[in-house]
Each structure stands twice: as C-alpha cells, then as structure tokens.
Structure 1
Amino acid sequence: MLERWRENLGVKLLAVTLALILWLYVTSEQNPTTEHVVRIPLEVENLSAGLVVANLPSEVQIRLEGRKGQIKNLLPRDIRAYVDLRAARVGENTLPVQVTLPEGVRLVRVNPAQVTVKVEQVQEVSLPVQVNLNGEPAGGYRALDPILKPSQVIVSGPEALLKEIGKVYVEVKLDQARGNYLAQLPVQVVDREGHPLSRWLTLKPESVEVFVPVVQDMPSRMVAIRPRLVGEPAAGYQIKRVILHPEVVEVLAPYNVLATLDNLYTTPINIAGARKNIIVESQLEIPPGVQLSSFPRVRVIVEIERVG
C-alpha cells in the first residue's frame, strides 16, 4: 500500500497544490478583502461611583478590513467603541479609544484615536414635573388639573448640564377622551431651547403616574368643606376648634343639584376619648351626580383642650 501511494507522488502533490491555488483564487475573486468605514457611538465603562461624564464625543469613525461577505453582513451591534474610565479623575482626561471587532475583521484605523473626556462629581436637583396636554376631550367634556405621583423627580448629572435644564415634563394625549385618563408616563428633560437632555442625566423615578380627570362640562361653583366628627373627647376635654385645608372645593353638577348643595363632608373622623390634638388626612364624601374639579385630600386638625 505504501509503495502504491508513493507512485506518482510528485503528480499528486502538484495536483493538491494546484487545487489549493485555484481555491484561493476563486475565494479571492468571489469574496475579496475590502475596507469599510463606519461611524459607531462612543461608549464609556468602569466610571467610579459618584462621578459622571460631562463631555464626550458622541461617535468615532472606524476603518475596517475583512472579507467582502463578512464586512457586508456586519451589524452595528457587532462593533463596539469605548473609553475605559477606570483611572479617570475629575476634570479633563485624554484617553485612547478602544474597539472590539468580530473574529476575522481587522481594525485599520480609528478616528480620533484618543479623546478628551470631561468628568465631574455627580450633582442632584429636585425638579417639578410639568404636564404637556395634547388634544382635546370629546365634545361636552373638559379636562381638569392633572395629578402626578410623584409630582417631582430627582435629576442627577454634571452641574453644568443641570443648569441647562429648561423643563421636566410628561406628554399626555387626550384625543376625544370621554373618561378619566390614567397612565404611567416616562419623564422627559429638555434645555431652554427645547432640545433633549437625556445623555449623562439620571432621573429618579424615570416615570410618573399621571391622572387627568375628564368630566362632563357642567355648571360649577365653590362649596365649603365640613368635617364629619364621630364621638366625643374624653371626660374633662372639649373641642377648641377644627382647622381644614383646603376649606373649599370646586364642584360640578347639574343646576338642580348645585342649588341644594351647600357643603361637602369629609369621611368620618373618630375623636372618641381624645385628650390631645388629632391630625388626619381625609377624603371627601361625594354625592351622586357631583364631580370635583380636583381630588384633594383634606388635612383636618382637631384641637382638643382641657375644660376650664
């Protein structure tokens, strides 16, 4: 067998060599090596706690080399450009741009090869969330003042960027609504010219619950709020006075209902056996056919004093 294999060995080796050359030629012709230029978002990693990036180029240009078929099928997620901020300090840091590529693809050049990254201490501000109402309720209905939970968010980021904030808000679409609007909406931040300020800012929370009462467009008027007290103070004690906040509320109802509505009562407040002031937050008892322009929780202070 060995002697037969050795027969015409030179011819066999030549045939293998020619086949390999032919394969390389065909491969090169059908799938040649080529270069390709892409722009990739620049990321950061390993930033120490308590620090935040205040300024960084948004993207870099990368020149790649590889087989045409592989280069053609590359996706943005296959390439990553980043700056390692492990050793970064407050102020400006000049650092190299690092690139990760799929196997078989070679990096020719990255432009710029290094960038200046400005790092600052994280600052925080508490800002109110505004509501942008878009659209209108259906005919015969009207939208009342929105209620947000929470009504403020904490914005963290570079001090210079925090000073540029012009508005913190949520977008509400009331297209032909015939009932109350309730949704969990993302909070958005823009500068004084209306440009988004999402990069390098952190929001807590990132979304808020928005409730917009949508009621029938009926007559309205202000009515007084009265406390509904249950029980009596302890023997030898008496009620000095009752303080409510708010004291009045706007109600909406048909004319015949409004004509007989003098006040609204809180839910029952138990003062039985009280020897000291009672402070509670109470809801309102709303009669049938009546709607409120807002939904306040009434703060009730019942001052108790010793008799004599």
Structure 2
Amino acid sequence: MDKWLSHPTAIKIISLVIGVLLFAVVHFDSERSPSTVAELTASEEYDINVEFTGLGENYALRGMDPATVRVKLRGTRLDLMEAARDTKAVIDLAGIEAGVHDVPVTITKPGTVELTSFTPSNVSVQIEPLVTKSFTVDLKTDGTPAQGYKTGVPVLTPGEVSVTLPEDRMDEVGFVGIVVSIQDADENITEKKSAIVVLNKAGEEITEAVIEPETVEVQIPVSLPSKSVPISFDYTGSAPDGFAVAAVQSEVERITIYGPQEQLDKISTYPSVNVDLSKQAETGELAVTIPLAEGIAAVSPAKVNVSVTYATTETKIIPQVPVTISGLGSGLKAQLSGAGSVDITISGAPNVLASLGVANVELVADLTGLGVGNHAVLLRAELPRFVALSGSGGQVTVAITDGTTEEPATKSGNDEPTSGNGEDGSAGDGTTTPNGNGDSTAPNAEGEGDANGMVDSGGNAADPSEPIADQQAGSEESE
C-alpha cells in the first residue's frame, strides 16, 4: 500500500479527485444567494386568545377586553410553526373581587423561539359574583299523543333544582326544566335521566348556567279518557238443590271505564254483567270478569268478586194474589170468572220470603191471540229476584166478548159497581170491582184489568155481567 501511494501516478489521481470535490462544493454554495441564507430565521406575528386562571369559585368572568393579544416571535420557520400552537397568553385573576380591573398579560412560549413583542400588555376584565337560586322543574311537551289518548299529571323527581349564574344574568331566566316528546304516545312515558335546560325569556338556552342536579326522572301518564260509572249484575243459573240465594254482594259498586270521549259520554250506567250462580256450589265469593262494552277499550277493575250466600230453601203461601189481564185484542172485552185472585206458593231463602207479600208478586193472564169466547188461561207469575214459584201459577177462565156490542148489565145481590177510584167515591176513569181481598182494583190501560172487572181492548172498564159458568181446567176455548 505504501508503495502504491508513493507512486507519482497515484498521487496525481488522488489530487484530481480532491480537486473535483472542492469544485463541486464551491460551485453549489455560490448558487445560494445571501437572502436565502438569511431566510433560515424569520419573525412572525400571531393573535393569541387570552386565558385566565385563579378566578374565585364565587365569581364569574363576565367580560374581557380585548380577548386576544398580538405576539411577535422570531426563530426558524419550523420552530415558529410549533411555537404558534404552544404560545399562550394568560391573566391571573387570583384574589380579584367583583368589579372592572386591568390585569397584566403573561406570555408563555417554547424556548426555541424568541418573543420580540406583544400587545396589549394589559386587558380589562369584568368580574361578577355568582348567585345560586332554586327553581321548580317545569315540563314542556312536544307533539300530541295517539288519537283518543290524553296525558295525565306528570311526576318529576326531583321537582326542584338549583341554578348558579352571574348575579346580573339571573333575572334573564325564563324556564328551568325539560322538554319531552309525546308524539303518538299510547302508553306511559318514563325517562330515567332527562337533561335539564335553562332558557332565557326569549327561549334561548343559557349555556353558562350551572345546574344541580343536571338530570331528573320524569313519568307522564298516557291513557284513554276515563269515567267512573255504576255497575249492576244479572243473575242466571240455579242455586244447589235444596238451597236458595239469601244474599249477593259485589265488592264494588262503580268501575272505571276507558275509551274515546264520545263513547264515554254515551254511558251513564255500565251494561249489566251476568253472574252464573251455577258456577258457585256453596256460600263464598265468585270471581266475575267484566266484559268490554261496545267502544270501551278497558275497564278497571277487570274482575270483581261477588259474594254469594246460600240458605236452605223454604216455602211460603201468598193468598189471594190478584190476576192482571194483558194482551187483549182490539175491540174486545174480557171478564174473569170467580174471585179474580189466586193463592200461590213461592220458595226461597227464609230472609227473602219474610218480607214478601201480595204487593211483591204479580199474576198475569196473557190473552194475546185469543178471540171471542170462554178460555182457560194459564197464569204467568212475576216474582222478585231469587224467588221461585212452587208448582204453577194456576189458571183462570176468561170470557172474551165483542166490545162493540152493548150488553145489559145484570146486577145480583148487593154487588153494585162503584164509579170512582174505589176509595172515596169520586169520579174516576173506569169502573172498579171488588177483588178477593175486599179491596177495589181499577182496570189497567192497554187492555189490562183485575178481578171480575170487564175490560175492553182500550183499557176501559164495562159494567160487570153475570159470572159465567166455571169450566174445567185446560178446557178448549169455545167460540
């Protein structure tokens, strides 16, 4: 190697390479102008937002003028780009009380750049004391519930919150509460955490308000309109053999019905609910489901308990029950033979039978479809609830005559018809005749009458005629 370096040719080659390198370096440096070299460092101005620290917890910064400062930094372009992000303008408000104050600005910057100037060096701040006030939480609803539904009284928990604001802004508060959508709602609305907002009197949100707590729970009842109406029951079926119903009692007398308002307005008393006594084998309570009436969406309660009390069946004779005529054809007259009253035997619970008499039962001779002649008519007994007829109501013989033919009245004995109402002899609308109890009973309108009175189809009484001959029970009518 030493031999090669000592060779003249090698030395020439090495010299040539070094010369070329030096030429290149000199050539490239000469192309760079003096101004380009100077641009490696520069100065830039930036507008920096003023920040503050140290403000007491009972105060609020209500204003700052100006809110930015202009700073001038010097350094390389790369350093300046980074410094623009990291340079801050800060004012210290520690110990400053309410009022207007001039506070010096402190600039903090990275060490890689130089702060050559900034302006202004002070800013004016307005400090206001904070106040806290309690407000009742209000509720605003947005939209409308589903058709036919309505909202009830909402429940907000808690119902009161505290709001902290600068003293000069507290009077701006116009609403503290929540806004809940009820659009197309058809069931209760429950929101566990609904954010509270504070609005000014123009309806704009006051974002700087501090609210405690920040959320509330809201429950909004959504239901169909309702109405309380009385309820009644119809009883079907039979008590167990040998027993009769002594008493029935529902646990409720009124129910609440739900539905469209126009349907509720049509109902003053709920349609009778059927109770099938054949499903209750002994004294106790019977659960009855209340069916929905037309147009009603729901009822409350949906089921009611009906207390049913049974007692051993007994019988009682009701003597001399007057017979009432009904269904007499147009232009006809009818007359009962005999006394015009019948003894009947009824059955039921002892406590029910004890209070029953002639005034509580009715025997009806239905002449519907019968023409002129003598007829044996089976009697229909109309009895109070939970009372049954033992056997049949019997039958009576009825003479039906043409009401358009005048017939001479035949008087016998001392039985003379008395005009009037059968009580004081004053004029009345028809003729009354004695019944089996010695009481006077006036014929009813619409072709109805009692005892031996002759009744025409218009409900007018005629003079009684001679009693017709008794006929055997079940005999055929004779024309």
Shorter-chain TM range is 0.5 to 0.7
Paired with 2:31 and 2:193, the residues of 1 have a C-alpha distance of 64
Paired letter, 1:166 = G
Residues 187 and 207 of structure 1 are in contact (CA less than 8 Å); yes or no, is this contact kept in structure 2? yes
Paired with 1:221 and 1:36, the residues of 2 have a C-alpha distance of 80
Paired with 1:74 and 1:207, the residues of 2 have a C-alpha distance of 42
Query: Are 1:55 and 2:63 matched, yes or no?
Result: yes
Partner of 2:197: 188
Paired letter, 1:198 = T
Paired with 1:100 and 1:208, the residues of 2 have a C-alpha distance of 43
Residues 90 and 120 of structure 1 are in contact (CA less than 8 Å); yes or no, is this contact kept in structure 2? yes
Query: Are 1:18 and 2:29 matched, yes or no?
Result: yes
Q: How many Å apart are 1:69 and its aligned residue? A: 8.8
Paired with 2:19 and 2:80, the residues of 1 have a C-alpha distance of 43
Query: Are 1:253 and 2:253 matched, yes or no?
Result: no
* Among 86, 92, 101, the residue aligned to 2:94: 86
Query: Can you give the 5+ residue segments of structure 1 that lack an aligned partner in the other structure?
Result: 223-250, 261-285, 291-308
Paired with 1:190 and 1:45, the residues of 2 have a C-alpha distance of 28
Larger Rg: 2
Paired letter, 2:166 = P
Paired letter, 1:173 = S
Paired with 1:73 and 1:52, the residues of 2 have a C-alpha distance of 32
Query: Are 1:202 and 2:207 matched, yes or no?
Result: no
Query: Are 1:217 and 2:228 matched, yes or no?
Result: no
Residues 220 and 253 of structure 1 are in contact (CA less than 8 Å); yes or no, is this contact kept in structure 2? yes
Residues 190 and 217 of structure 2 are in contact (CA less than 8 Å); yes or no, is this contact kept in structure 1? no
Partner of 1:294: none
Residues 51 and 90 of structure 2 are in contact (CA less than 8 Å); yes or no, is this contact kept in structure 1? yes
Q: How many Å apart are 1:289 and its aligned residue? A: 5.9
State the Cα RMSD in Å.
5.1
Pair 1:134–1:78, CA change in 2 (3 A)? farther
**1:253-301 C-alpha deviation (Å, 9 max, x unpaired):** 35699968xxxxxxxxxxxxxxxxxxxxxxxxx95569xxxxxxxxxxx
Query: Are 1:137 and 2:129 matched, yes or no?
Result: no
SS in structure 1 at match of 2:124? strand
Query: Are 1:154 and 2:162 matched, yes or no?
Result: yes
Residues 253 and 289 of structure 1 are in contact (CA less than 8 Å); yes or no, is this contact kept in structure 2? no
Residues 71 and 117 of structure 2 are in contact (CA less than 8 Å); yes or no, is this contact kept in structure 1? yes
Paired with 2:161 and 2:121, the residues of 1 have a C-alpha distance of 38
SS in structure 1 at match of 2:191? strand
Paired letter, 1:193 = A
Query: Are 1:171 and 2:182 matched, yes or no?
Result: no
Q: How many Å apart are 1:129 and its aligned residue? A: 1.8
Partner of 1:303: none
TM-score of the superposition, structure 1-length normalised? 0.53
**1:130-151 C-alpha deviation (Å, 9 max, x unpaired):** 1121112222322223221111
Paired with 1:68 and 1:258, the residues of 2 have a C-alpha distance of 90
Paired letter, 1:253 = Y
Pair 1:163–1:218, CA change in 2 (3 A)? closer
Which one has more relative contact order, counting CA pairs under 8 Å at least 6 apart?
1
Q: How many Å apart are 1:153 and its aligned residue? A: 1.1
Residues 150 and 225 of structure 2 are in contact (CA less than 8 Å); yes or no, is this contact kept in structure 1? no
Paired with 2:118 and 2:301, the residues of 1 have a C-alpha distance of 71
Pair 1:78–1:212, CA change in 2 (3 A)? farther
Residues 165 and 192 of structure 1 are in contact (CA less than 8 Å); yes or no, is this contact kept in structure 2? yes
Identity of aligned residues (%): 22
Pair 1:26–1:57, CA change in 2 (3 A)? same
Residues 51 and 122 of structure 1 are in contact (CA less than 8 Å); yes or no, is this contact kept in structure 2? yes
**1:80-111 C-alpha deviation (Å, 9 max, x unpaired):** 65432123223222213456667878878877
Moved more, 159-168 or 62-71: 62-71
Paired with 2:66 and 2:200, the residues of 1 have a C-alpha distance of 18
Query: Are 1:46 and 2:54 matched, yes or no?
Result: yes
Paired letter, 2:133 = V
Q: How many residues align?
A: 228
